[in-house]
Amino acid sequence: MVEIQKDVPLNDLNTLGLPSIAPLFVNVTKREDLSDLYQEGFFSSYSPFILGGGSNIVLSEKLNHPVLKISISGVEILLEEKDDARIRIGAGENWHNFVNWAVNKGYGGVENLALIPGTVGAAPIQNIGAYGVEIKQVFESLLAFDMRDGTFKRFYKNQCKFGYRDSIFKRELKGKCIVVEVTLLLKHENHDPNITYSGLREALNDKGIQDPDIKDVFEAVVAVRRSKLPDPKVLGNAGSFFKNPIIEIELYEKLQNSRTGIPGYPVDDLHVKVPAGWLIEQAGWKGKQIGNVGTYKNQALVIVNHGNATGEEILNHAKTIQDSVRSMFGIELTPEVNIIN
């Protein structure tokens, strides 16, 4: 029998530190817990919210759905050859802790993704990315529990429909599947670290490192992220709040003519990606605080809880930023975080 708790506070289980109550709460520590819940009729009665590290969410004060906290742990090396390593990780493992483990073992491929908050299970759902790397580049497969029929199903890369901060689990299979484990393919030897991102190259150059190994890249990424992003334990935040918008090249060229210095990165022949943080900063929001909510002084892309903020206050602040950017640039900002009611 799986323990189901009632009226559980989630204040310490979301990195924004928002007050929220789960009407029902289950801590899932092994995959069999999900099978037991299915047999007990839990999934036919409820549509639960799946909680990982609580790092990419905005919670309302009282949720309408039960919460399943995925705490399935374990890291296992399935295959290790001269160049490659196949590694299976439990969905509840802390993502940064896993990256740190991989780097210390000499496995390359995830070092650019250091210090991204959240769990391993959430990483492919979001197709997390940073400093020129996305998880899809090292992804082999994941095992998910289908809440509709109580079965476990394996999804390979081509089945996950990865996109920019997107996957099939945020679209067609949203609210239908629970990730229980992830298998990644990392490089054991002959790995060339990705240092194409200008900010990362600059950080390495500042240290006088011209030919970095994975540990050099890992340490540089950690240093850059810590200089830009607040520690959620000190200042509540959900990481990057908005996606970097992808706009048509005609609009980008028009903005270039009217606003010298607007950065942009080609996506294809017709589209350009523009940094959301730059747009928000130009609109005057960097470091600005209204009531309990503010925009972080070192990175305008991060909305922070200065103390006692509610989910409603966070969302109102975000909407005001969206309105400002739309008015100034004609660009629509889309939240990267998940909004849970």
301-310: buried (b, 16+ CB within 10 Å) or exposed (e) per residue? bbbbbeeebb
Count of beta carbons in the 10 Å neighbourhood of residue 338: 16
Q: Which residues pair with 271 in a beta bridge?
A: 248
User: Catalytic site residues?
Assistant: 165, 240, 336
State the angle between helix axes of 214-228 and 198-206 in degrees (0 to 180), rounded to the nearest 10: 110
Token couple for 168: 């099939």
- Cα–Cα distances in angstroms (integers) from residue 111 to residues 71, 164, 212, 307, in the given order: 23, 19, 11, 33
Q: Is 113 exposed, middle or buried (0-12, 13-18, 19+ CB in 10 A)?
A: buried
Tokens 């990705």 appear where?
Answer: 194
Q: Is 109 exposed, middle or buried (0-12, 13-18, 19+ CB in 10 A)?
A: buried
* Three-state secondary-structure class, residue 272: strand
